[in-house]
Structure 1
Amino acid sequence: MKTSVSTLRIVIVAPENLSPGPDMDAELLEEADRSRSLRIGLLEGGYNIVAVLPSDIYLPERIAQIQPDLIIVDAESQARDTLEHVVMATRDARRPIVLFTNEEDPTHMREAIAAGVTGYVVQGLAAERVKPVLDVAMARFQVEEGLRRELADARSQLGERKIIERAKGLLMTRHGLNEDAAYARLRKTAMDKGLKMADLAQRLIDASELLG
């Protein structure tokens, strides 16, 4: 996901009614200040804020419709429900998630990272820090996705090798071939039919199971 700042489409998930007011207590005032600094930093950084969404049961559907490049969670303290909604919304289509919060609990931080949060920022947010934080989060997400793809490819290759080995065993048993000859027959047949060896091997296994 190589996207420039000018085209990076950001969705903010935030609680409602975080506008500073005379009756706001100290904790809410601190959260309102953080929220204001975050938005200033995004605007100064040239980011494209495509939507500000509440954390509710409709969040997964809205995120699926918007297809943002990055999700920012502007969360009140103890906002576990908010984070759960966001994680559910990105379960099938992973995206970088950056959490800005006043929650300093290390347990909550570990839970957030384990759930898929790419960046976790606690308090003290100055507007000029927003862009560096998001740059790091995007870079980390890209590295993690690369590792995830490599692991998936390795597992797929291992699975294919097991299938091919099993098909080779069937040929060796039924046709009295040695291992090299069985492999050569599989390879040639796959090439002749324009198939991957693993696909041909799976067909052979399926046919063997069907015929007994």
Structure 2
Amino acid sequence: MRFTFLLLVCCTLVRTLPAQTFLASALAGGSLSQVDGDDLLGFHQPGINAGLRVVAVLGDHWRVGPEILYSQQGAKRNRNNLNISDFSDIRLNTVELPLMVYYKDWRITAEAGAAYQRLIDYRIEDANGADATDQYALRNDLFALQLGVTVYLTRKLGINFRWSRHLTDLQVDDTPRLRGRSVTLRAVYSFGSGETLPSPSGTAPALPST
């Protein structure tokens, strides 16, 4: 219900402004993640991160807007990991709704914001690889801090790097205290005319149109 409400609010905001003030993009890529508190070290859990973004163009440099993503996160034991842990694999499948602020200067975009994540389903395996999902109750509603940067190769195509960390515990119980972290690398394809920011010096050549 909370996810549906937030999505409706974002859609309403989008419809209240003129169409020319918006830029839509498709996002597709992958992530590596871990969970703090599970005694497994390293970003060894691969996952998918893909969806859509709509931003309101507030000027030459500033943008703000939501994304809607399918995001896989979790943690995984590395074959060379000697740490003692109750887990060997944690897989989280979520629908994610980040609300981000962007500052663009020519090819470079800095971004910061927060994300609401709705847990669709999850699987947890114990140290022996057996299914232990029923032993752990995870929260359906999660919140995360997100920071990132995008480098635009052309007006329409960019490469995005994003770091994310949960602000809320994954588990309903306090023990163990589990919070996820992830790093994501994605391609960003902007529809329409794409980005048209000036260069920092005003003398560099314009970005290619394709």
Larger radius of gyration: 1
TM-score over 0.5 for the alignment? no
Normalized per residue, the structure richer in strand is: 2
Q: TM-score range by the shorter chain?
A: under 0.3
Normalized against structure 2, the TM-score is what? 0.22
TM-score under structure 1 normalisation? Answer: 0.22
Structure ranking higher in helix proportion:
1
| Greater relative contact order (CA < 8 Å, ≥ 6 in sequence) | 2
